[in-house]
Structure 1
Amino acid sequence: MKFGTVDYVIFALLLVLSSGIGLYYALSGGKQRTMQEFLLADRSMSFLPVALSLLATFQSAVAILGVPSEIYRFGTEYWFLGCSYILGLLIPAHIFIPMFYRLRLTSTYEYLELRFNKAVRVCGTVTFIFQMVIYMGVVLYAPALALNAVTGFDLWGAVLTMGLVCTLYTTLGGLKAVIWTDVFQTLIMFAGQLAVIIVGTIKVGGIAEVWRIATENEKIADINWNPDPFERHSFWALAIGGVFMMLSLYGVNQAQVQRYLSSKTEKEAILSCYAVFPCQQIVLCLGCLMGLVMFAFYKQHDSTGLTSLPSPDQMVLYFVMDILQDLPGLPGLFVACLFSGALSTISSAFNSLATVTMEDLVKPHFPNLSESRATMLSKVVALLYGLLCIGMAYISSIMGSVLQAALSIFGMVGGPLLGLFCLGMFFPCANSTGAISGLVAGLIMAFWIGIGSFVSNIKAAPSQLVNGTIGPESGNFTTVVMTTLLSPEPIQKSGLSKFYSLSYMWYSAHNSTTVVVVGLIVSFLTGSMKGKVVNPRTIFHVLPKLLFFLPDKYKEKLYFGVKHTKEESEPTLEQPATPDKTINSLINGDVKATDTTENEKFDGYARADGGHSYVVHETSL
């Protein structure tokens, strides 16, 4: 099964058009001459391209390969993950997005300094950089490896081509190029998946026949109501645990928050989150349907080649080449779909890494850095991260059985970072010491379970080593999209090994809860923050909103002394973004608490470390 000329042409067109979008935005319009243009698309994006970019960022090649493989082997139970999308996107739309947007942030971790202090901000930033650097190399290498194994497509040719093209358009075109390229790549992903489903369904004999075969072979799963957290997939794990996983991705991850912040208004940012919901459901349904079509096809045809594959993550590509090899161009379209997922994920990583590096690590130490030099340095940083990504892909190729452990770090770190932001937003009493202690405890817990699970699986099932890697029976330490790729059948365990088998769908919930609990305990032991010194714009008052029916004198106690006004609680959604003077100038000390102008006023709030946090009260900006 080899690529034909037409397939290569279609694949090359994907790369050429992606590069062309980057060149267009580098040579037209603002030409990426300012930090706002390069890192935040000049805060000028409307909700639809932002929504499609949000979708593409974590709809990686891993998901395109993994979900159908999951459905083929274990049935449609995974589809219930769609239930988590409701709260997983409503909560960011009404809590996280308004909070970040009204503070006019560029880096998500600026919030941590406004709420706690600079040390917490740096800890959050370093944790995120570690997470993304490890992850992006694997995302680049994994699909190239699968493609090479099934089609003979040159492995390092694919890695280098993707890495360089992605680096090119991200470095030249900035966030605007990344978003519009994501839109183009999302359409390619939909087209590739639809082509496979349509052709496969026709060859099986129609969608009714696909459903009949799947039903007869018990692939259409009933709802599993088992509340056992060690159950790999249950309704509770997918629908409830999945909410925390979605929050770690769509609520606090810099790659996603940066897209919200690029919107023209807060209303557009919220609409983008709402628009992602039906798109996510469509993507999930396409993946599930492709898995059912693949199962039905191999029930009618010889499946020896499929079952003899060394790794389940090659199933989808084998199936694609099997049904599309007589249709020139369609294999190339699906491979373009596959690599579109990888490109969108990697480009988002480059851009978000450049943002946090500049805003959190460089500019605080060089407050007098000119706009032009800062923009040029941002582009250099994005370029360096692109080259680092290619280097990480090489490291992934020689890591052997550690490959999945490296990939799992993305999932390990997401939960503790979510917990850190929740600690700050929902608990006014939490202090900076508690925040750092909670983050460290959450990371230790995450790596303990993750590495313990990895080692436990190697000892329990050495015969399950596949291509130098091994898959966890419960997938507890991988991201939701990668976990399903190499998951063999469950092995019964007890004791500490049972603890290591915690379902991966509860993983974010478990680790974020650890951060909050430890953070609160340490805060109480070291002296809780007083409400009057907490920046009110960094707190989301949950209890007063839930218990809105209480008399005002009782509701007032639920604010725990934090200053609040009706305007602060319910500001207008139509306020435009203000690129000229952001909270960054306050953090860097460019504007004093007593400074006032005709249009704005700054109020200072003492921080736990003796410094000040500032909040902007806008009147006519």
Structure 2
Amino acid sequence: MGAAQFALLDYLVLLGFLLVSTLIGVYFAWKDRRSTSNKTFLTGNKELGWVPVSFSMMASYLSSIAILGLPSEVYNRGAILWLGAVSATIAILVAARVFLPMYYNMDITSINEYLEKRFNSTAVRSLAAGVFVIQTLLYMGVVLYGPSLALGSVTGIPVWMSILLNGLVCTFYTAIGGMKAVVWTDVVQMILIYAGYIMVCVAGISHVGGIGRVIEINQQGGRLIFANWSFNPYYTYTTWNVTLSWTIGWMGAYCASQTQVQRYSAIASLEKARKALLWNIPGVSSTLLLSVLSGLVLYAVYGHCDPRFRGDIEKTDQLMPFIIQDLLRDYPGLSGLLVASVFSGSLSTLSSGYNALAAVTWDDFIRPRVSLSDRQAVYTTKAVAGMYGVLSVFIAFLAGSMESIIQASSSLIGAMTGPLLAVFVLGITIPYVRKNGALWGVCLGLAFAWWLTLGSIIYPRSGDNLPVDNAQCLAPNATLLERGSFDPPKTPDGIMAFYHISFIWISALGFVATLIFAVAVSTFFESDDKTEKLDPRYIVPFARRFMDLGDDPMKMTSYKAVPTNEQNRNSHL
């Protein structure tokens, strides 16, 4: 028997959440109605506290992919995804200690402004901006598809209608309210994300008879996999790819993303900006661990009778909303709250993405080429944010063709994340890599990563899902379940040996390829002309020891601190 459908109270809860998000945008649009500054719209004019900004940073990347996709991956492939908390912690520490001070002290609106100053090239800046726009639009489409799938599975509302509802609400409040609306809606949405996880865990644990029973069932089903030290690249998840490649992914989010840099810029001091960033470690880690626990709970409840093979759902991405409908059908409103939490994960990421896309488009493409008044600039930026919202709606319809939203995220976005992160790492740590090395490195790295991605889509591999026992299913077609295998994946022949590696590796391979290509081009083909001096302020302190003295007109030592904007202001008082 399928799960109950939405009750009236569920619809009211969901609509209430969407209304609150919209009203927050209207409030800040009214509050800042006399402002003609793009800084106010894009960075909040440094008037935001570190606590709400910290919540906003977490919410920006804890999208519907985390709420729907991660638990379903644990259900299919085991608990090894807990290592995501380790990779996120490493990435955030690197961002806080290395990248944040560089960006914050430059007081930039677009992160790509750093690349122009570092490589003395508008071409590098424009290329990185273009990559970010495409990457973020793809990501927006994936996270917009997720909650629409969830809503359709428990309400009967068509997925296309859900996409339009979610996308247009988010586009509206982001386009009119700017960064302040984005941050404060993120705070509300982050609270709902936690509420959704807790509801699923409590309902499932109570249903099976306690946490001990959850552990026992998962142990019997082979889901308590906390490490896999195999070097076989055809396993979907191993200790190596989750730790290494996901660290690249999280660094792409925290070290080389316009979305997060705008939040750095929204805080009044470097110290508070670092505090906001470091608080993401417990916030993101706890959310990822709740994802893993939710996946184990899903298996404990449905591991002996998969709802896909009773015809209740189509994909395991739908299990999170389904379990609430199934187990808590006698409590109207809770299903609406769960779907609202899934929408929260999507809306927080979408609004941050639209705002960041508007900032990059304005600062990297429009402002250098078109002269506009302050008021015209604000209206133009708002229109651009709205345009990207509409575009992401169209892209969302393409995401449904992938096996899961985790695969869609890791493959499509990972192909852009690795090369984009690499150009910032090159700029900040390797002084002798110059303009041509950066340009060719990114282009060749992107070509390599997309070759792998498109090959894996055109020639999909067979999955390595763990088996599910459908002994308790009453449906006559339950025996049609395609059982997984505990055996190592077989090594494919020919070109498939490349196309069938785990999609988790794509971001790391794109990152490494870009580094290799860039260093090679700079080493063998870059001009030896040293007339263009490299400003050491754009190189991280520990890497300045590798600078040619001719490149260091300020004669800065390896660890000599670069004065911050705040220190410079104080020195003149």
Do the two structures share a fold, i.e. TM-score over 0.5? yes
Change (3 A) 1:407 1:293: closer
1:290-349 deviation digits (Å, cap 9, x = unpaired): 1111111235x7545566543222222322221122211110000000111111111111
Identity %, equivalent residues: 34
Name the counterpart of 1:374: 377
Deviation at 1:135, TM superposition (A): 2.7
Name the counterpart of 1:85: 88
Tell whether 2:367 aligns with 1:332. Answer: no
Deviation at 1:150, TM superposition (A): 4.1
Q: Is the 8 A contact 1:54 1:256 kept in 2?
A: yes
Q: Quick one: which of 140, 156, 162 aligns to 1:158? A: 162
Q: Quick one: which of 356, 364, 368 aligns to 2:368? A: 364
Change (3 A) 1:233 1:204: same
Change (3 A) 1:70 1:407: closer
Question: Could you list the runs of 4 or more consecutive aligned residues of structure 1 that deviate by over 6 angstroms after TM superposition?
Answer: 399-407, 471-474, 556-560
Moved more, 77-86 or 487-496: 487-496
Name the counterpart of 2:447: 444
Change (3 A) 1:519 1:527: same
SS at match of 2:279: helix
Q: Is the 8 A contact 2:143 2:350 kept in 1?
A: yes
Deviation at 1:267, TM superposition (A): 1.2
1:253-287 deviation digits (Å, cap 9, x = unpaired): 11122111211111111111110000111111111
Q: Is the 8 A contact 2:153 2:322 kept in 1?
A: no
Mapping 1:26-105, distance limit 5 Å: 26-29=29-32, 32-105=35-108
- In 1, Cα distance between equivalents of 2:232 and 2:261: 33
Q: Is the 8 A contact 2:399 2:408 kept in 1?
A: no
Instruction: Specify every segment of 5 or more residues in structure 1 that has no aligned partner in the other structure, as ranges.
Output: 462-470, 475-486, 545-554, 577-598, 601-617
Q: Is the 8 A contact 1:423 1:516 kept in 2?
A: yes
Q: Is the 8 A contact 1:188 1:340 kept in 2?
A: yes
Moved more, 490-499 or 116-125: 490-499
Change (3 A) 1:498 1:155: same
- In 2, Cα distance between equivalents of 1:174 and 1:528: 45
Name the counterpart of 1:296: 300
Name the counterpart of 1:502: 501
1:202-228 deviation digits (Å, cap 9, x = unpaired): 111121221222223332124222234
Change (3 A) 1:144 1:104: same
CA RMSD of aligned residues (A): 3.0
Mapping 1:126-525, distance limit 5 Å: 126-298=130-302, 302-303=305-306, 308=311, 309-366=313-370, 368-394=371-397, 408-457=411-460, 490=489, 492-524=491-523, 525=525
Q: Quick one: which of 11, 14, 19 aligns to 1:11? A: 14
Change (3 A) 1:557 1:350: closer
SS at match of 1:111: helix
- In 1, Cα distance between equivalents of 2:484 and 2:566: 51
- In 1, Cα distance between equivalents of 2:345 and 2:57: 12
Deviation at 1:3, TM superposition (A): 0.5
Deviation at 1:402, TM superposition (A): 12
Moved more, 322-331 or 532-541: 532-541
Deviation at 1:535, TM superposition (A): 1.9
**Comparing both chains, which one has the higher relative contact order based on Cα–Cα distances under 8 Å and sequence gaps of 6 or more?**
2
What residue identity is the alignment partner of 2:82? W
Name the counterpart of 2:124: 120
Tell whether 2:566 aligns with 1:575. Answer: yes
- In 2, Cα distance between equivalents of 1:567 and 1:265: 25
- In 1, Cα distance between equivalents of 2:37 and 2:160: 35
Change (3 A) 1:559 1:81: farther
Q: Is the 8 A contact 1:428 1:560 kept in 2?
A: no
